[in-house]
């Protein structure tokens, strides 16, 4: 009997060790073998950005920016020029503790140029409750309408580290062929251009913001922002925005996330991305049976 008990115990320990878990802190992905962030120059905030809203909820110290949300306002910033492709990154540190309902975002958009019919590529950190991890949401909108019929293409992840402890680098690489989302140079998602109708092709600006999205951000709105814990602060540094601006010549070459100048991911990068999706992805819109996939034909193939 003791032998059976011990055998079952060791088997359970082995299964725990071998089974991937998005809550298993320190379970790090394999090396991608290539580090695109090292290829692009960093800049300070005022080189490439301006405050967009909430100027009294923003401060710049050397090259680092802090934006915060309290019960009176949040804050946002915007790049001074639009782009039609490029590498867009920042090192970000998030607020610890209770942050339910709060979104800290870094994203591309042309919503001001095309109100009610815009494109958008998002990295959003969805706030959380005590003891639960942040969720990183990636999303792509194509010519989204402002009438509540926006079609999201969400993929959500937990992270293999605590994003409140230190700065980590988050990036979007947008080329005419693909969009790649990266965390500390680790590719976590690739969104390919399968048709013009499902890919953003118009110039976009780079934005960052912190705001109250209590209606949906945390467990579909179950937990709201609690301003007893204000201010909620997002910190940004190591800004990168390199590529073809909307004013560049037609022959401007798009940047690449891999050693190949033609774009795509190397085999090692692709393997690392698959590893992350297998271990840390918590939602994929293409696998959501409740979604009407007639609006997302890229999920078919």
Task: Find the angle CA(59)-CA(64)-CA(65) to the nearest 5 degrees.
Answer: 35
pLDDT for 20 equals 41
Helix (H, G, I), strand (E, B) or coil at 244: strand
For residue 150 the two structure tokens come to: 């926006």
**Residue 267 CB: number of other CB atoms within 10 A?**
10
pLDDT tens, N- to C-terminus, the chain (301 residues): 444 444 444 444 333 333 344 445 558 999 999 999 999 999 999 999 999 999 999 999 987 999 999 999 999 999 999 999 999 999 999 999 999 999 999 999 999 999 989 999 999 999 999 999 999 999 999 988 555 667 899 999 999 999 999 999 999 999 999 999 999 999 999 999 999 999 999 999 999 999 999 999 999 999 999 999 999 999 999 999 999 999 999 889 999 999 998 889 999 999 999 999 999 999 999 999 999 888 898 998 7
Q: Is 154 a catalytic residue?
A: no
Determine if the pTM surpasses 0.95.
Answer: no
Which is the catalytic residue, given 47, 112, 120, 154? 120
8 Å CB contact between 122 and 134? no
124 catalytically annotated? yes
User: Can you give the pLDDT at residue 145?
Assistant: 59
Catalytic residue among 124, 154, 178, 298: 124
Distances (CA, A) of 77 to 37, 205, 210, 228, 270: 21, 10, 10, 25, 32
Exposed, middle or buried by CB within 10 Å (0-12, 13-18, 19+), for 52? middle
pLDDT in tens, 273-282: 999 999 999 9
Predicted confidence at residue 148, as pLDDT, reads: 61
């Amino acid at each position: 009997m003791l032998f059976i008990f011990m055998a079952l115990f060791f088997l359970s320990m082995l299964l725990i060790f071998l089974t991937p878990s998005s809550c298993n802190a320190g379970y790090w992905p394999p090396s991608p073998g290539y580090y695109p962030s090292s290829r692009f120059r960093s800049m300070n905030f005022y080189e490439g950005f301006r405050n967009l809203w909430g100027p009294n909820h923003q401060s710049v110290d050397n090259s680092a920016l802090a934006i915060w949300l309290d019960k009176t306002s949040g804050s946002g910033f915007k790049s001074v020029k639009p782009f039609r492709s490029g590498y867009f990154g920042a090192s970000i540190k998030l607020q610890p503790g209770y942050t339910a309902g709060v979104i800290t975002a870094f994203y591309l958009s042309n919503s001001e140029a095309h109100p009610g019919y815009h494109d958008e590529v998002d990295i959003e950190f969805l706030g959380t409750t005590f003891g639960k991890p942040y969720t990183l949401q990636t999303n792509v909108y194509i010519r989204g309408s402002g009438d509540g019929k926006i079609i999201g293409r969400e993929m959500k992840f937990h992270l293999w580290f605590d994003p409140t402890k230190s700065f980590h680098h988050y990036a979007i690489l947008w080329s005419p062929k693909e969009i790649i989302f990266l965390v500390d140079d680790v590719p976590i998602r690739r969104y390919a251009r399968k048709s013009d109708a499902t890919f953003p092709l118009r110039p976009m600006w780079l934005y960052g913001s912190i705001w109250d999205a209590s209606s949906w951000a945390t467990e579909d709105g179950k937990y709201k922002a609690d301003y007893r814990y204000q201010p909620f602060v997002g910190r940004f540094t190591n800004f990168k925005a390199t590529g073809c601006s909307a004013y560049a010549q037609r022959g401007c070459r798009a940047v690449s996330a891999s050693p190949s100048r033609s774009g795509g991911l190397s085999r090692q990068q692709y393997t690392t991305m698959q590893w992350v999706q297998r271990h840390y992805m918590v939602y994929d819109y293409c696998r959501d049976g409740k979604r009407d996939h007639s609006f997302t034909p890229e999920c078919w193939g």
